[in-house]
Copies of this chain bind each other. A is one copy, B any other.
Amino acid sequence: MKPQPQDRPRPEPSLSALTSRLRRQAHKVTGPRQAVLEILRRHPHPLTNREIFAALPPGQCDLATIYRAMHLLEEMGMVKRFDFGDGAARFELVGEGDDGHHHHLVCTRCAEVVEIAECFPGEIERRIAAANGFKNVTHKLEFFGVCPECQ
């Protein structure tokens, strides 16, 4: 079996590598932030704030704090936000220097998520931008279907 996209050998960054990124931008390295980063580091999958909260040792930190942490990490580009259309934002750690742009294939039955390498063709996007006079055009793209187990 040849490697599939989901077998991506993305090396999880060490926690200290992550916190140093915080420090470098003059943000405090607090317990809650480290805890959140540790969860994200261990789950190379899009996670909702509530899932992160649930994965945390009880009493570790407040849900509101997680929301605030995700905003900060998103602004810093350390995390990328995804929207699977179910009303809850999901986040994934983004490698340093990477923009984290990629897509997912989500099972509409069991919510299994597979990372997809393919992307909307850049030339077509450029053509769309040009045809309408838009600048800085990006896109959000997610795939939905029924996974093998759920069929």
Contact = CB atoms under 8 A, between A and B. Distances in A.
Interface of A: 4-6, 83, 85, 87, 105, 107, 114, 116, 118, 120-121, 124-125, 127-129, 131-148, 151
Given A83-B85, A85-B83, A125 B137 contact: no
A74 B144 CA distance: 18
Contact of A85 (B127, B129, B135, B140): B140
A105 B83 contact: no
Contact of A144 (B120, B124, B137): B137
A128 B105 contact: yes
B137 A145 contact: yes
Contact of A134 (B105, B132, B142): B105
B83 A131 contact: no
25 contacts: A83-B83, A87-B87, A105-B129, A105-B134, A107-B134, A120-B120, A120-B141, A125-B143, A132-B147, A133-B148, A134-B143, A134-B145, A134-B146, A134-B147, A135-B146, A135-B151, A136-B145, A138-B143, A138-B145, A139-B141, A139-B142, A139-B143, A140-B141, A140-B144, A141-B141
Contacts of A148: 132-134
Nearest to A87: B87
Given A87-B87, A105-B134, 12 more contacts: A6-B132, A105-B128, A105-B132, A114-B134, A125-B143, A128-B143, A132-B148, A134-B145, A134-B146, A134-B147, A134-B148, A138-B145
